[in-house]
Structure 1
Amino acid sequence: MNLLRSIFLFSCLTFAFCFLFVFSIRAQAQGILEVKIRLVRSQSGKPVSNAVVVSKQAGAAGTSDAEGLVVLKFPGSGYYQLRIATSDKVEVVTKEIRYNKQEILVALAESVGSSGIVVSGERDKTPLSRYGLVQDEIKRIPGVAGDSLKAIQTIPGIAIGVPVGVLPTVFTNVSNSLTGVPYSNSERGDLSLRGGGTRQNQYFFDGFPLPYPFHLGNQSSVLNNNLIRSFDVYTGAFPSKYGFATGGIIAIEGTDKVESNRSVVNVNFFLADIYNQTKINPSLSMVSSGRKNYPNLVLLQAYPAGIPEDAKFAEYQDFQWKMIWDISNEHKLTVQTFGTRDRQAYTKQQANYERGGSDPRPPTGLDRNFRTDGIRHIWKGKWFRNSISYSRTEFNEFFEVRVSNPATAETIFGLQNRTSDYITYAEERLELDLIEEHLRFEGGLQFRGRETNLKGENISSANPLFGDIFNNLLNSSAQFRSVIDGDRIRYNELAGFGEFQVKWQGIRFHPGARVDTYSGSGEKNLSPRITGGYVFESTKTSILAGHGVHYNSPVSVEQLSTRSGNPNLFMERSEHNSLGVSQEIGQGWLIKVEGFHNIFQNIIVADNYAIDPYSPNTDLRLVVNNPTNAQRNPFIPRNLNYSNSGYGHSEGIEIFIKKSRNPREESGSFGWISYTNSITKRINNQPRLTSTQSSDRALANSTRTLLSQGKLGTNYINYYDDNSYEVLYNNDKEELYDLDRTHILNCVFGYRFNPDWQIGGRFRYFSGTPYTPIVSADRASQAATFGVNLYFPKYSDNYNSDRFRPFHQIDIRIDMFDHYSWGYINVYLELVNFYGRMNQDGYNFDNFKAYQRGVNPSATYDTVNSPYIQSQRPNGSPINLPLINLGMEARF
C-alpha cells in the first residue's frame, strides 16, 4: 500500500511539474516554416492541379502542380487562412501550421448535405435519419475526457441502456426468477435507437464488426480518440448495405490515409492513451494506439472518503493497429486489429477490504474482452470501386456470482460462468458510377457466421445441505442444466443487397433492397428500402421521407439452445418510417426536424407456455440418472422458454439545431441542441394468469401429458392425452418499454476566444425510465435451511407504472493551447457533473431485510455516467461536488 501511495504521489508531482512547465514557456516558435500543401478532390481523391493558393497572413502564394502540390513559406506556427481558387469555385479554409516540412492535405469540392456537416462522399449517404459528426466537432466535448465517440449520446433518438446487469448475458431470466421481477421487455445493452432493442444494433469500425462501442458502464469508447475520423449514426431506414440489425447502425471511420508522421499523448487523472501514425515509405503507413485507465488507484489514494457508497469503476484497456499499403493508384490493402478488455470488481467496500478489513467483495465480478482481426483489398478505377473484406472476432465474457450470509460471511451460493463468441464476417461490395454526379449503384454480398459457447464452473457453497438442493435444481431446470453442463449454438447468415443513388437537379432518390437468409430457421426475407426527397437550392430547404424493412437473427445462446431454448426461432423484424425537413440558415446554421414511426415484430420474449410435445429425451444427465425412463419415453414435452410473440412500436419527433464555427475565423461559437419527444411501448403477448389459475393449471398438468400445441392468433391451444383441450388466452396488454424516455434533451456548446483558449459545456436532461414498484415483501420459510432470513419482494400489478427521477447534469471544460513548430500542447480542465446531481438509475431491494417504504428498497445512483464526490460542509452537512479531471494532450 505504501508503494502504491508513493507511485501515486510521484505521478501527481510529475503531472504538476508538466502543467507548470507548459504555463512557463508560453511562446510561439519563430522562424520560416516551409510547408507542402496537397490538394485533392474529396470524393475521388484525384489531385487538383492549377489551383491558386493564397495566404494573406503569411504573404505567400503559389499554384498547385500536376500532383496537386504547392509549397508555401510561413513566418511561424499558428493558424492561417488559405484562399484556394480553382476553375469552378473559390474556397477558404483554416489550417494549423506546426513545423517545418509539414505536409497538409486539403480536400476540395465537398458538398454539404442536409445534416449540415461536411464529410467526404456526402452525396453517397442518405441525409434522412442520419446524424454525422467529424473529429473537430467532437474531440473536446466536456465531461468525456476527450472521448469523441461519447458524442453519439448527444444525437437525437438515442437512449442510454443498461450495459452491465447484476447477472449478465444468459442469466437474465434466472435473475428475474430469483428477484421476483414480474415483467421485463428489454435486455442488457449499450444504446437504444428510436425504441429499438439494445442488442439489435450493429456497430462497425472501418466496416468491420465492433462487438460493443463502450467500455463497461459507458465510461468511454473502446477506440482511441485520435483514431476516430468521423462517424455516422443511422437511427431509421438505413441503407441496404447495412443489415443484421432492427434497431440502428453506428458506423465509425478511422484514419485511412497518413500524410505525415504524428504522435499524440494524452494523460489525465483517470486514464492515459497514446496515438502514433508513421509513414514508413511513400506507399506504406502504420497507425497504432492504446489506452489504459486507473480510476481505482487515483480515487482510493486521493480521496477515498469522497467515493459514493455504491460507486463502481471498471478497469479497462484497449488497443488498435492498422497497416495501410497503397500498392498502386488502383489497388490498396489494409490490415488491422483492435480489441479491448474490461474488468469490474470494485466498490467502496473493496477499499475497506484493501485496508485490511473482511472480504466484502461485490456480489458480481465481470471480466470481458474482444479482439477483431481484419483485412481488406480495394480496387478502384475511373468509374468503379470494388472492395473485399474479411474479419474474425473473438469475444469472451467471464463473470462470477456470489451470495453470502451477511452475518456469518458464509457463501450460500457461488458460480462462475464463461461465454465465448466467435464471429466470421466477409463482404464483397461493388460501387459503380453509371452517370457521373447523377446515377450511382452499390451492391454486394455479405456473410456472417457465428458460434457461441457457454459453460458454468466452480460452483461452491459452504452449506452442507447445498449439494442436495443444487442437484434438485439441476434435475428440475433444463436452463440451469444447460449452463452447468455447457451449451453451444452455431448458425450462418448470407445477405445480398443493391441500391441506386439518383441525383437530378433537386431530386434525391435512393431505392434499394436486401435479402437476408438465416440457417437457424431456414428463412429468406426480402427487405425493401427507399429514401427520397427534394432540395430547394434557392432557399436551402430539404424535404425528406423514407421507409425500410429490417431483419436480425436471434442473438443469445439461451434463446437458441436445443437443450433449454427454442432452436426454431425466427428472425426479428422492424419497419422504419421517417419524414423530415431541414433548413440551412445563414453561415453555419442548420435546423432539422424529423418525425418517425417504427414497428417491431417477431420480438423474441421469454415464454412460459411454448412447449415442444415431442422433444427427444437425450439430455445426458437425465439419461444417466434414470435410464429406464429414457428408454420408455424417447420423446417428452419440453418447455421452449422463448418465442417470437413480442410486438412493439415507437413514435416521436426529433429536433436538431446546429451552429458550426466559421472555419475562416480563429474565434467563434459552435455547438448543437438535440431534442427528442417520443413514446415506446411493447407487448409480450403472454397469458397473465392469476396465482389461483396457475396453481389449478399445475395441478391438472401433473396427471396429463401434452400431445399437441397450436396457436390461433396469439392464443395457445393445447391438446392432452386425456382428450382435454386447454385454451390459453392472450390477455396481455401494452406496457411502456423499459428504456422509454419521454424527453431527451442535449445541449453542447463551445466558444473559441482565439487559437489559445476555448471553453465548452454540455447539458443533458432525460426523463426517468419506467419501473414496476415494490409494494411489499414475503418472508421465505425455506431460507431457514441456510440459517438466514430471506424476503422476496412483491411487485405492483401495474407493470412499469412509475418512473425514476429525471436525469440532468452540466459538464464544463476549459482548454488552453500552446503551439510550437513541432506541434502543440493542450491542457484541459473538466468539471464533470458541475452541481453534483445524484441521478437515480434504479433501486435495490435487500433480500435480508423486510420491506420498508422509503428505506428498503433504496435508490441506486449512476456514478459512472454521472459521477460526483461526496464531502461535508463546515457544519457537517453533506455536499456533493463535481468530479475534477485535469489532463494534458501533446501532439508531435
Structure 2
Amino acid sequence: MKMSRKILFFFIFGCVISSVTAEGDLEVRVQLVRSQTGKPIANATVVSKQGKTTAVTDSEGKAILRFPSVGYYEIKIIAGDKIETTSKEIRYKGQSLLIPISEISSSGIFVSGERDKTVLSRYGLNQEDIKRIPGVAGDSLKAIQTIPGISVGVPVGVLPTVFTNVGAGQISGNPYSNSERGDLSLRGGGTRQNQYFFDGFPLPYPFHIGNQSSVLNNNLIKSFDVYSGSFPSRYGFATGGIIAIEGTDKVEENKTVVNVNFFLSDAYNQTKLMPSLSMITSGRKNYPNFVLLQAYPQGIPQDAKYAEYQDFQWKLIWDMHNDHKLTFQTFGTRDRQAYTKQQASYERGGEDPRPPTGLDRGFRTDAVRYIWKGKTFRNTISYSRTEFNEFFELRISNPATAENIFGLQNRTRDTLTFAEQRFEWELIEEHLKFESGIQARSKETNLKGENITSNNRLFGDIFNNLLNSSSQFRSVIDGDRIRYKEASAYAEFQGKWNGFRLSPGGRVDSYSGSGEVNLSPRITGGYVFENTKTSILGGHGVHFNSPVSVEQLSRRSGNPNLFMERAEHDSIGIQQEFLQGWSIKIEGFRNIFQNIIVADNFAVDPYSLNNDLRIFANDPTKAINNPLTPRNLNYSNSGYGHSEGVEIFLKKARDPKVESGAFGWISYTNSITKRVNNQARRTSDENTNRALLNGSRQLLAQTKVGTNYVNYYDDNQVEVIYNNDREELYDLDRRHILNFVFGYKFNRDWQIGGRYRYFSGVPYTPIINANRAGEASTFGINLYFPEYSKNYNSDRLLPFHQIDIRIDAFDHYSWGYINVYLEFVNFYGRKNQTGYNFDNLKAYQNGVNPSSTYDTVNSPYIESQRPNGSPINLPLINLGMEVRF
C-alpha cells in the first residue's frame, strides 16, 4: 500500500507540473559539423521556410535562427552543390542544435539507405511509428507482431525436445505435431527457421521468455525491417523470414531517457565523448512477480506464469576519419522463468526450497565492425561471438501427492561465431548498384544432465527404463555435443531506370554437416508509375537453412547426416501512395517448404558406429566385438509443407512537422498453411508385431523409394514401410490475422492510442474419450488415459482478440520532457485460450475435462469479483513515466 501511494503521488505530481516556455521569437543556435570528424561546416546556408528564418554559418559552423514558437520545423541546409533536409523540434529560447552532416563533403561520400531496400515482402517501421504503441509498456519491438504474415508461436522454453516428451506432465500426450517451439512463424515458416539480426549481428532470440518484451531497449531501436519472403541475397541461414533491427548509429546530441512503470524500469544514455567518439549505454530490469504478489496477489490467475528478465546494450562509435568508422558493441540478456502460483501452493504448501526458476537462460554478444567509405563504394567488415546458456530444471511428480518421482537439471551451452565482409559499389549513380559479400558461421553446442534427484522408491526402475528406451535421454544424461560450420557468398545487382526496378542476385551456402553446397537464385522487380505513385511488385527466391537442434544432429541419438531445409518463396503485389502520408500494399504469396526435419521412427543406420558410452562401461567385450550396430536416427528430412495467402497493409504515417493528427496502420492476413511429415501411420498392434519380429533379426540395408522405406534383413526378408501419411493443417496456422494500431495526438501535450488484435485459433487434435487404466503401480492410484481423435488438427481453439489502450501526457522543459503514461492492457479482460489440459486423475467429461488453459502473459488479466460475488476479469493497469533530459 505504501508503494501504491507513492506511485499515485508521483503520477499526480507529474501531471500538474506546467511547461515553461518562452513567448515570442525563439532564438536558436545551430552548429553544423561533419559527422565523421566533428569539423565545422562554414559558409553553409541554413533555411527554415516554415519558420521564416535563414542564416549562414560562420567559420565555426554556427548560425542563429529565430522561430516564432515552439514546435517541429523543417530545416534545409545548402552547402555547395549539396542539399540536405532535416526536421527538428524547437522547445525553448536559447536552445542549441548540433546537426552532423554526412553527405556534404568535398570528396563526396557513398550514401546507402532506405532507397536501396526492396519493397516486396518487406515491412518496415521506424521509431516514431512504434515509440508508444499501446499495451507493450513502451517496448517498440513488439510492433513486429502487428506486421502482416506473422503468427506468434509457442515461445522456446524447453530444450532439447527430449524434455518436451518426458516432462510434459501428461502420461499420454498429443499424438501428432508438425511444428516446434519458437517465437514467430512468418508466412507459415518454422518458428526456428527465422534469423534475427541487430545491427547486422546475429541475435539469438528477439523476445524474453513468453514474448513479454524484446531483448533490446526501446530507445536504442532506430527502425526494423521484416522480410517475410524473397528476402535479399545478403540474408541467409533461414527458410522462414528475416527480422533485421537497426540500432542508433550516430550521436547528434547528449541524451538520457529513463522509463519507470509498474512492471519494469529501463535507462538509456547517449554521450558524445569527443567530436569523433560517441558512446551508447542502456539497460532494463523487470519485476512483475514482485509487484503483482505485493499489490494484489488474489487477483493473479492460478496458472499465470511471468518471467523475470534483464538486458543490457553498449556501443562505442569512433569516426576515425571522413572515410573510416569503427564500432565496438556488446549486448545480452538473462531470463528466469518463475513457477505459477498454483504450482507453488501445490508443492509443499508453497514452501518450496528450490530457486524460483524452472528455466534460466541468457546470452551475450560481443561484436566489432569496421567501415571504409569512398565516393562510390563502401566496404564493411563485421565479427561477432555469441555465448548462449540455458539451465532447465525437470521434475516429474506424482500427480496425486506431488512427491518427486525424479528430477534433473540440464545445461545447454551454445557458441556462435559470425564473420562477414560486405562490399557495396554504386556503379551508376541513382541507377545501378552492386552488392556482394562473404559470410562464415561456426556453431558448437554442449548439453549435459546433472544433479539427478528422487524421493521415490521406484526411481531406479523408471530412470533405467528411460535410459534403455530413449537414446536421446541417454545422450542428455551422458552429455552431448555438436559442431558444424557454414560458409556463404552472395552477389546482387540493384537496377533502376525510369520506372523499372530489377534486383537479380544469388547466394551459395555450404554446410559442413552434410557436406552439401546449395545455390539460391533470387530476383525481385517491378515498375513504379511516378505520376500516380503506384508500384507493381514481384519476386522469387530460394532459401536454405541448416539443422538447428542438438538432438537432431547428435551422432549418438540423432541423425548427423541431415540435409539443409529448403524453401521457395514467390510473391506478387501492388503498392499505392495517396493523400498525405497514406499508403496501402496488397501482396499475395505462396511458399513451399521442402526437406523439413521431422521426428522419424523408421529411419535407421544399419552400420552406425557403436559409440554408446554405457555399452562400453557395462559390456566392453560386446562393444569391441561389434564396432558397428544398427541405430535409430530418430530424425529425417521427410517433411513437406506449403503456405499461401494474401496480405493487406494500410498505413497512415506520422507527420513530424505537425503537432497534432492521427497515425497508425491496419494489417490483415488471410492464409492457409499445411504440412505432411511423410511418416507411416500404424496401429498399436502393427507396431507391436513389428517390434517382436525385429527382435530376432538384424537390419542389413535400408533405402528409400519416394517417401517409402525399404528394409532388408539378415533373414532374407524385405520389409516395405508404406507412407500413408496425409497433409494436415500446420500447428500454427491462423486463417485470419487482423491488427489495428492507431494513435491521435491532440497537441504537443496529449496523445491517445489503441491496439486491437484478432487471430483465428490454432488447430489442435481433440480428445474424444479417456480409458481407465485401473490401479497404476507407479502412482498407486487410478489413472485415465486420454483418447485422441484420429483426425489430427481437425479442430481449432477459440479466436484470440484483445484491445489495449494507452494515454500519454507530456510536460516540456528546457532540459527535455516528462512523459506520464497510463495503459489498460486487455481492456475488456478477455481470457484467450492457449490449449487444453487433461487431468489424468479424472474421467473424460466434455467441457469439463479436458479444461481450457489461458494466455496470462501476452493477454494478461486480473481476477476479481463484482459486489454480488460473481467473478469478473479486469484489465491489467500499467502506470509509468518516461523522463528525457
TM-score range, shorter chain: over 0.9
CA, structure 1 residues 471+369, in 2 after alignment: closer, same or farther (shift >3 Å)?
Answer: same
Pairing of 1:668-687 with structure 2 (within 5 A)? 668-687=661-680
The 1-side partners of 2:563 and 2:732 are apart by 24
| TM-score relative to the length of structure 2 | 0.94
SS across alignment from 1:565: coil
Show the counterpart of 2:153: 161
**For this pair of structures, how many residues does the alignment match?**
872
Show the counterpart of 1:114: none
CA, structure 1 residues 133+315, in 2 after alignment: closer, same or farther (shift >3 Å)?
Answer: same
Show the counterpart of 1:642: 635
Given residue 145 of structure 1, which amino acid in structure 2 is its aligned partner?
A
CA, structure 1 residues 422+733, in 2 after alignment: closer, same or farther (shift >3 Å)?
Answer: same
Show the counterpart of 1:3: none
Q: Does 1:34 align with 2:28?
A: yes
User: Which stretch shifts more, 563-572 or 465-474?
Assistant: 465-474
Check conservation: 1:202, 1:248, Cα contact below 8 A.
yes
Output one character per residue of 1:153-205: Cα deviation in whole Å (capped at 9) or x when no partner: 00000000000456665524545795332111100100000000000000000
Q: Does 1:561 align with 2:554?
A: yes
Show the counterpart of 2:143: 151
Residue 491 of structure 1 deviates from its aligned partner by 0.2
Show the counterpart of 1:384: 377
SS across alignment from 2:598: strand
SS across alignment from 1:473: helix
CA, structure 1 residues 222+198, in 2 after alignment: closer, same or farther (shift >3 Å)?
Answer: same
The 2-side partners of 1:810 and 1:499 are apart by 43
Check conservation: 1:39, 1:64, Cα contact below 8 A.
no
Residue in structure 1 matching 2:608, options 595, 598, 615: 615
Show the counterpart of 1:710: 703
The 2-side partners of 1:573 and 1:798 are apart by 28
Q: Does 1:333 align with 2:333?
A: no
CA, structure 1 residues 96+711, in 2 after alignment: closer, same or farther (shift >3 Å)?
Answer: farther
Q: Does 1:409 align with 2:402?
A: yes
Show the counterpart of 2:107: none
Check conservation: 1:344, 1:365, Cα contact below 8 A.
yes
CA, structure 1 residues 891+715, in 2 after alignment: closer, same or farther (shift >3 Å)?
Answer: same
Show the counterpart of 2:740: 747
Residue 699 of structure 1 deviates from its aligned partner by 1.8
Residue in structure 2 matching 1:440, options 433, 438, 453: 433
Show the counterpart of 1:122: 114
Output one character per residue of 1:786-845: Cα deviation in whole Å (capped at 9) or x when no partner: 323333322110000000000000111111111110000000111111111000011112
SS across alignment from 1:211: coil
Output one character per residue of 1:734-755: Cα deviation in whole Å (capped at 9) or x when no partner: 0000000000000001111111
Residue 102 of structure 1 deviates from its aligned partner by 3.0
| TM-score relative to the length of structure 1 | 0.93
Output one character per residue of 1:199-220: Cα deviation in whole Å (capped at 9) or x when no partner: 0000000111100000010000
Show the counterpart of 1:54: 48
The 2-side partners of 1:282 and 1:354 are apart by 59
Q: Does 1:23 align with 2:38?
A: no
The 2-side partners of 1:696 and 1:56 are apart by 85
Pairing of 1:759-838 with structure 2 (within 5 A)? 759-780=752-773, 783-838=776-831
Show the counterpart of 2:108: none
Show the counterpart of 2:134: 142
Given residue 290 of structure 2, which amino acid in structure 1 is its aligned partner?
L
Check conservation: 1:426, 1:446, Cα contact below 8 A.
yes
Given residue 608 of structure 2, which amino acid in structure 1 is its aligned partner?
S
CA, structure 1 residues 65+556, in 2 after alignment: closer, same or farther (shift >3 Å)?
Answer: farther
Given residue 16 of structure 2, which amino acid in structure 1 is its aligned partner?
S
The 1-side partners of 2:77 and 2:462 are apart by 81
The 2-side partners of 1:400 and 1:751 are apart by 47
Output one character per residue of 1:512-540: Cα deviation in whole Å (capped at 9) or x when no partner: 10000000000000000000000000110
Residue 106 of structure 1 deviates from its aligned partner by 8.1
Check conservation: 1:350, 1:360, Cα contact below 8 A.
no
CA, structure 1 residues 369+503, in 2 after alignment: closer, same or farther (shift >3 Å)?
Answer: same
CA, structure 1 residues 188+64, in 2 after alignment: closer, same or farther (shift >3 Å)?
Answer: farther
Given residue 612 of structure 2, which amino acid in structure 1 is its aligned partner?
D
Residue 50 of structure 1 deviates from its aligned partner by 4.2
The 2-side partners of 1:405 and 1:520 are apart by 41
The CA RMSD measured in Å over matched residues stands at 2.6
Pairing of 1:277-676 with structure 2 (within 5 A)? 277-349=270-342, 352=345, 357-359=350-352, 365-676=358-669
SS across alignment from 2:320: coil
User: Which stretch shifts more, 454-463 or 246-255?
Assistant: 454-463
Residue 96 of structure 1 deviates from its aligned partner by 4.3
Check conservation: 1:456, 1:486, Cα contact below 8 A.
yes
Check conservation: 1:353, 1:360, Cα contact below 8 A.
no
Residue 507 of structure 1 deviates from its aligned partner by 0.8
The 2-side partners of 1:65 and 1:427 are apart by 42
Show the counterpart of 1:115: none
Residue in structure 2 matching 1:721, options 714, 720, 744: 714
User: Which stretch shifts more, 130-139 or 91-100?
Assistant: 91-100
Show the counterpart of 1:232: 225
SS across alignment from 1:671: strand
Residue 781 of structure 1 deviates from its aligned partner by 5.8
Residue in structure 2 matching 1:102, options 87, 96, 102: 96
Output one character per residue of 1:444-486: Cα deviation in whole Å (capped at 9) or x when no partner: 1100000000111122221122113312321332111101000
The 2-side partners of 1:736 and 1:670 are apart by 36
Output one character per residue of 1:562-607: Cα deviation in whole Å (capped at 9) or x when no partner: 0000000000000000000000111111010000000000000000
Residue 414 of structure 1 deviates from its aligned partner by 1.2
Residue 66 of structure 1 deviates from its aligned partner by 9.0
The 2-side partners of 1:461 and 1:290 are apart by 40
Check conservation: 1:596, 1:653, Cα contact below 8 A.
yes
The 1-side partners of 2:635 and 2:181 are apart by 17
The 2-side partners of 1:650 and 1:48 are apart by 57
Residue 697 of structure 1 deviates from its aligned partner by 1.2
Q: Structure 2: any 5+ residue segments left out of the alignment?
A: 105-110
Residue 320 of structure 1 deviates from its aligned partner by 0.4
CA, structure 1 residues 130+603, in 2 after alignment: closer, same or farther (shift >3 Å)?
Answer: same
SS across alignment from 1:785: coil
Residue 885 of structure 1 deviates from its aligned partner by 0.6
Check conservation: 1:682, 1:736, Cα contact below 8 A.
yes
Residue 252 of structure 1 deviates from its aligned partner by 0.4
Check conservation: 1:347, 1:362, Cα contact below 8 A.
no
Output one character per residue of 1:383-429: Cα deviation in whole Å (capped at 9) or x when no partner: 11111111000111111121222443321121211111100000011
CA, structure 1 residues 562+178, in 2 after alignment: closer, same or farther (shift >3 Å)?
Answer: farther
Given residue 797 of structure 2, which amino acid in structure 1 is its aligned partner?
F
